[in-house]
Amino acid sequence: MARRELDLAMGLFGTYDDPRLETYAPRRLRLLWIENSPLDCRIWSYYCDIKAAMARLHELCTPRGSDTCVDRSDGRRETFVADAAVVGPRYSINVASDDEPLGFNRPAHGRMPLLVLQNKMYTPQGWREIVGDLDAKLRWVRSAGAIAAFTWLSKYREFTRISGVPHHWLPFGVDPTRFGRHAGSLGVAVQQFDVGFTGASGADKYPLRRALLEALQAMNVTLFTGSWLQTALKRDDNHSWKAGTHEEYAQIMSRTKVWLSTTGPEFIVGTRYYEVLASGTTMLLCNRATNGAGAASSLSWQSAVYDGLFEDGVHAVFFDNVSDMRTKVSYYLNNELERRSIVRAAHARTLRLHTWDARARFVSWIAEEAIRRQANRTTPHYIREAILGKHGTAANETGSATVVGCYAFAQKVPATRTPVAWQEPPRSRNRRNLHRYTVQSCHTACTAFPRTADGYFGLHGGGFSNGNAHVLARCFCAERTCPRSRCLAEALPSHQCATSCSLHDARPCGGPAALAVYAVGGGVGMSIGASESVTTLPEIAHRRRSSTRGPWARRAPRRHGHGSAAARNGTARS
């Protein structure tokens, strides 16, 4: 059975190369786009490319700070009525638990179709890379009530089987206006490099690339190699990277006759493939999918990594091993007409099938089908009680705490300058300053000690407060007898604390400059005469500490390494 027929038989909504997509004009949707911010488009530009392509077709709104888009209550902006929600690839990288938040109240919007662009769907072997947790991503996509998902990998059928959520193969794409601007510039006069390569080539992660580069360096060819490694992470300084701009990279590629690229982890066909194919100047030379011993793979998803993307000898040239690579480099450098024929065919196919606009049409096609299917359902895809009943409720109990309100709080309060009455629980700090909390874990931490067991707790900076909902909130505890003037600053509208830091628990997790305050056991407390003034946070934060400064005044918090159980529990993912 052909790939497209097999996919439809499995219950998938469509395929990226369905001929109907070429003339498909999606209706304009209102999409809640869940993504970290700011997006860094200099190196991993596909984060921005797919979002920009979707924005050309639809109206997007991304939760930021205290703005969840769909739960606006400030009266200044109209609530964003979304047709569907889409989790972008930058956000899905770091999913590491079943309870990762979405930045909005998922239980209240259970009927909203959710689509997830999965990313980094592999487990690093022998190298350091932050990719979240593969198993957790497959559980989470189900737990979040996603109706459909996408992956760059050809393992999409396996992900569908494991998660129960239809995963669609969404190959990477390319911006042809950037990488095809030099199309047609062919020949010795304008192409002074024989072979080019850019990208990571460490022997631990990419042993094949390392062997290929060593072989090329021993050949009598003019070679261009470059690295995309950063020298400093300065978001406001584009010159802090070793690599040139995308325009400079595209120009170097156009001046090269043959470009070497290989599959990445789990045989992923990376963005470099499509950039070369779109060039109209440079021939793609890439490895054939093998089982690691040089033989063609017998695993269906590995042998299908190029299925429908391009053909060997027509749009690109495949090699089997290092020796075969050397043979084919020599052949095509001495057969210019054949090389040019392949380059032209690749360029034409890429413009038709592999642009980011084509990928956006495919995502839109699946989104419209998801909306149609949800409209025909009598129940939502996400039902909190059903999810917690299936996976257990221990980690998601809402507890008996009552929301007191939302109050002003400094954006960055050092550990030694917190308000006098509010103290972080012991073990909240480790050497990397990473320990964070959900509402439930903060509640548990503050009730574990006698002096705050029946008091108050508050959360600050959770959800999308800092642009990354993977970062949970800071937790603070206060005693029951805490006077209002020492515990609370200016009262704020509730929407400024609205973002949540748990998928299943929609209680507020504090804002970028706000503290969501809870009373343990449902008590009111913190009630004083109206004549007593409310002390502003700056005064509290800079007040000299006294012997009664908080429940742990005489107990210095112990330090924990980030590998300890205490540090791992509630730790934010970057």
Question: 268-280, pLDDT tens digit by residue?
Answer: 999 999 999 999 9
Tokens of residue 314, six digits: 């027509």
Identify which has the larger pLDDT, 547 or 198.
198
Residue type at 373 in one-letter notation: R
pLDDT of residue 390 exceeding 60: no
Integer Cα distance of 177 and 184 in angstroms: 14
Distance of alpha carbon 493 from the chain centroid: 30
Q: What percent of the chain has pLDDT over 70?
A: 76
Residue 541 has pLDDT above 80, yes or no: no
Q: Give yes or no for a contact between 412 and 518, defined as CB atoms under 8 angstroms apart.
A: no
Task: Residue 462: name the closest of 6, 160, 104 by CA.
Answer: 104
Q: 396 or 256: which carries more pLDDT confidence?
A: 256
Among the ranges given (42-51, 73-82, 116-125), the one the predictor scored with the smallest mean pLDDT: 73-82
Give 124-145 pLDDT, tens digit per residue: 766 667 778 899 999 999 999 9
| Cα atoms in the Cβ-side hemisphere of radius 13 Å centred on 341 | 9
Angle between helices 271-279 and 246-254 (to 10 degrees): 60
Give the tens place of pLDDT for each residue, 188-205.
Answer: 889 999 999 988 777 777
- Which domains are present in the chain? 3-172+357-375 (3.40.50), 176-352 (3.40.50.2000), 397-568 (no CATH)
Contact 275, 251 (CB under 8 A): no
pLDDT band at 563 (very low <50, low <70, confident <90, very high): very low
Model pLDDT, residue 232? 43
Q: Which amino acid is at 509?
A: C
pLDDT for 241 beyond 90 = no
d(CA 142, CA 133): 15
Average pLDDT, the chain: 80
What local confidence, expressed as pLDDT, does residue 128 receive? Answer: 67
In tens, the pLDDT along 455-477 reads 889 999 887 776 777 778 889 99
User: CB of 234 within 8 A of CB of 240?
Assistant: yes
Q: Is residue 110 classed as helix, strand or coil in its secondary structure? A: coil
| Tens of pLDDT, residues 138-172 | 999 999 999 999 999 999 999 999 999 999 999 99
Sequence-separated (6 or more) residues with CB below 8 Å from residue 80: 30, 32, 61, 69, 70, 72
Please check the confidence at residue 293 and state whether its pLDDT lies above 70. Answer: no
d(CA 422, CA 487): 7
| Averaged pLDDT for residues 522-543 | 35
Q: Which residues pair with 519 in a beta bridge?
A: 402, 456
Q: What pLDDT does 394 receive?
A: 38
Closest-CA residue to 35 (of 72, 78, 64, 77) = 64
Q: Among 35-44, 192-201, 331-340, which stretch is predicted with the lowest mean pLDDT?
A: 35-44
pLDDT at 555 over 60: no
